[in-house]
Structure 1
Amino acid sequence: MLKKYDPYENVIEVLSEAMNIGNINKHMFEIIKNPQRALTVYLPVKMDDGSVQVFEGYRVQHSNIRGPFKGGIRYHQDCDLNEVKALATWMTLKCAVVDIAYGGAKGGIQVDPRTLSEAELCRLTRRYTYAIEPIIGTNKDIPAPDVNTNSKIMAWILDTYSMLQGKPCPGVVTGKPLELGGSKGREAATGRGVVISTELILKKDNKATEGQKVAIQGVGNVGGNAARILHEKGAKIVAISDVSAAIYAEDGLDIPSIMDYLKDPQSLLVHYDAQGITHITNEELLQCNCDILIPAALENQINEEVAKKLQCSYIVEGANGPTTTAGDKILEARGITLVPDILANSGGVIVSYFEWVQNIQVLTWDEDKVNEMLENQMSKAFIDVVAESEKSACSLRMAAYIVAIRKVIHAQDVKGIFP
């Protein structure tokens, strides 16, 4: 029987390998390997029919060595503690590699939000906020949206937390509505960051974005915004997918039309049809003939078997942990260039940091400024990662981990161990 994929084991394995390749002293390995706190909560919620259902939720705080804990909250039926531990660890590394003053955390609830009414979802969110309230806060731990959560859910968290504190606390979450202190440019930031990463890796190889054939797995916030922005820049989006299906068009998809169709939450790609479109499986999307593959769905999508069949030249990871360690080795052997998640999808946390700074200083920046600052931050990080890759003769993933680990360990060395 095949061993079940464990994302936390995956991230620890890559951490250990990166420390070996980067000749990093392992005296701090146990500290950066283990989360500082892992909280499991049980959430009784009154359903619309009068029954009571109990949901399991998590908040894992991996590290605050470099700043307050930071990380999104996801609602997904397959969410479990080990997944959240892995995601929190990746957040620590992500914040370090792009050099923002945050540590890493993550949260989640084991639920399929599509099975709940909006009223039930609101009650669940408020109960979860009540349960984790003692460990979050503007200067302690700042949640944000993730899979199946959005600005509305952040507004519920903000309101619940503020009610418990007896005052407005806009800095407790990021990714919230503009009217409640959200930042311009935040909603599209992760997808925009994926596009910036794509442009940077193409530019490194003296290639233009225009005309590149792109396949995107997942057309939610990250994949949808990446598709829209890449289309505007002249790339040819040949395949996209959602939870229901994938679609393909050799000559490129009409992205504006598809995005307009998907504005209705009930609309699914399985029902979308237009001239030249073929409905394909998720596996066929990953393996389709394209220049750039952007996995922007969930973890564990590109394993060893899938990696052998890919027909792309580049992978830019929009999701967290979409490629397994075994898959990575196959891609490297095949010469497929991969921009890793902790760099490629860091746009969301970078602009979350900008939002948090604006809240603390009671300021509002315009969207052009936010986007310019985002591009500058990611470009500097990309240069550092490429330089480390060349110095250590390793993949961009290993280089990104080496850069991040060194920053985290240096901060811990400077602080020392308490008490």
Structure 2
Amino acid sequence: MKRLLLFLVMVLILVLAACGNSDTASVAGMNESQLKQEAKGKTVHFYMWGGDKNINAYIDNFVTPNVKNKYDITLKRIPMDTEKFIQKLNSEKQAGKKDGSIDLVWINGQNFKIAKDNHLLYGKITEQIPNVAKLVDPRLTKKDAGNAIEEMEAPWGKTSFVLQYNSKEVTKPPLDLQELTAWVKANPGRFTYPDVADFTGDAFVRQIIYAQNPEKTFTKAPTKSDRVKAYTYLQSLAPYLWREGKTYPKTLQELDQLYAQGQVDFTMGFNERRALPFMEDGTFPKTTRTFAFDNGALTNAHYLSMAFNTQQPAASLVVINYLLSEAAQAEKLKTSVWGDGTTLLTEQMSPDWQARFKAAGKTGNQFYNSWQALDEFPDTTAEAIQKEWSQYVYP
């Protein structure tokens, strides 16, 4: 009798465990049709940086209603800095939480490496995202800032690091460091960049390293000597920066606000079309233009992935596949929406879609110059800059 009772208890435990994780267990091997069927009626929690109102509006006003109408999926955007939701995932991992609060994440570079190394991601996902094989540029699926992707994330967008300036106040933008030095010293207080704790500030330092070595091809991470050379240069500019370089904007949003208020004449960031939506809605001056240093612009991709303990893997895969569709990518490319570069191979599309992408990507006379793409450094460079910069740059 005791053996029978023990057997029944064990069976019950196994059944309950299977029911509690039925969606996760059943998603392996599902085809597109099965995933869509499984996704119906589900809610996907999308954790993403929320510092850009145009990006937020794209998700809320375009993506969310479309995935609801097409797949009966409720998409909830959860704004949170990437580092914070990585910490949240890590806390859930340490606590052994199998039913997670996070489903879909927007991630890349250093944060992808941290998530991957700590087993915070779902695993290999791109085989079950048809648009990755069908439409995405395969060159973007191999490495993310030097880290092997191994099918754990899907390329969502591709951008270049550029600067914006007010052409009413700046006749000719500085295209190299000699010109930047001359302009900053002639116009004290009118230029700055974010603290390197912010992704954009860190990227600006990496861009300076490239600008100091215009003839060098980096086949590996810059050396400490390369980094110190950049810090020394930035230290020489500090007395002529906004607030004499005694403090820096904490985030790109703060720098954008300074620029919008006319306190500085430049802002910057990844995404060469980023200024256009801000110009359209009146945030930035209509006289804003965009440029890159003449030796090139850092270029990288950003990605979508899934939490290791997502409760909705099928629905998350369906949402990612939609975000990589022609319709979603063409809308995202529109300069009136987000202006984010596409990861799709447009030359393989139908003539109709090629025409749509060409129209969506028009920038008019926004670009002061053209530039070549510079490969992003391995993420160890960003980590080093975050540790070292303040030791050299702060007075």
What is the TM-score when the length of structure 1 is the normalising length? 0.33
Larger radius of gyration: 2
Larger RCO (CA within 8 A; separation ≥ 6):
2
